[in-house]
Amino acid sequence: MAVNRVVVGAHYGLGNFIAQRVTAVVMVLYSLIMLFVLMGGRPLNYGVWKDLFTQGWMRVGTLLFMVSLAWHAWIGIKEILIDYARPDSLRFSLYVIFILIIATYLGWTVQILWR
Amino acid sequence: MSSAAAKKQRPKFLSFYALLFQIRMPIPAWCSGMHRISGALLVFPLTAWFLFLLDTSLASEKGYDHVRDVYLSHPIAKLGLTFFIWAYSHHFCAGIRYLFLDLNKGIELRPARASAYAVFAVSILITLYFGWRLWL
């Protein structure tokens, strides 16, 4: 029996919908914590800044933020490209470019945090 | 049904010119459009820029001092940072608005318009506050 699987279009909506909102909430929390730390804490210098990012919770939290950003960004970019990027060949090329950009962000983040 | 509507050319494609000058978009539409534009620009190039700043400032004390005293004191960098603050806070506020709309809070016309105005007001105020601290 032939399987007519549609390979273009946005047919995976609910998972994306939920992921977009969960990742958004993670980023809101991180943003508020970061704002609190930066504005409420000691005046910044290199020592304070470096110490902050060598603490375990900060490293894990920042990685969690960046993974959320990557996931959220991919869904968002895909939505935008589905709406505007024609023909499909251009859209798929842009998909590849953005996947590479977003994957680079993740690798770069790990490198920065665990240097 | 021989109404005027039947004779209209369909589908109608709206150009950017039409969106900006020929039709009047309601405020939630502007809020949504800016959510898209700010989101796209946050993905690229702003995240790349921020990772660069984080990388340089954490790599060494020299790098930290350079970022703070030389790099970010340049007017173009300040302009970029101010734009980032606007894009982030607009995307943030509009996103929170959508989270409430998803929960069926404020979906009637009046509150939906009011919250769209509030998104613009709050994000511009946040930008003004941090812009003031950055430039003055």
If you average pLDDT over each of A34-38, A79-83, B87-91, which comes out highest?
B87-91
The residue behind tokens 């549609």 is: A6
> Could you give the angle at the alpha carbon of A37 between the alpha carbons of A34 and A39, nearest 5°?
100
Distance between CA A54 and CA A47 in Å, rounded? 11
Structure-block tokens of residue A115: 């240097």
Question: In this complex, which of B36, B61, B102 lies closest to A46 when CB atoms are compared?
Answer: B61
Q: Is the dihedral of CA A96, A102, A105, A110 positive or negative?
A: negative
The reply to whether omega before B75 is within 30° of 0 (cis) is no
Mark A7-38 as b/e (b = at least 16 C-beta within 10 Å).
eeeeeeeeebeeebeebbebbeebeeeeeeee
Taking all residues of chain B, what is their mean pLDDT, rounded to a whole number? 93
**pLDDT beyond 70 at B73:** yes
Question: What pLDDT was estimated at residue A58?
Answer: 95
Task: Please tell me which of the candidates A21, A76, A102 has its beta carbon nearest to residue B39.
Answer: A76
Query: Measured between CB atoms, which of A28, A105, A108 is closest to B96?
Result: A28
Average pLDDT, chain A: 91
The residue of chain B with its CA nearest to that of A81 is B40
Q: Identify the three-state secondary structure at position A9.
A: coil
| CA torsion angle B46 A77 B119 B80 (round to 10) | 10
- What pLDDT, on the 0 to 100 scale, is given for residue A42? 76
Nearest CA in chain B to A83: B36
> How far is residue A94 from each of residues A8, A66, A84, A100, measured CA to CA in Å?
14, 21, 11, 10
Torsion of CA A87, A92, A98, A101, to 10 degrees: -130
**ipTM of the complex model:** 0.88
* Out of A23-27, B16-20, B119-123, least confident range: B16-20
CB pairs under 8 A between A and B: 53
CB contact under 8 A, B44 and A101: yes
* pLDDT surpassing 70 at residue A54: yes
Task: Decide if B51 and A115 are in contact by the 8 Å CB cutoff.
Answer: no
Higher pLDDT, A12 or B110: B110
What is the CA angle A74-A38-A103, rounded to 5? 20
pLDDT of the residue at A8: 62
Residues B38-67 have a mean pLDDT of 97
- B58/A53 Cβ within 8 A: yes
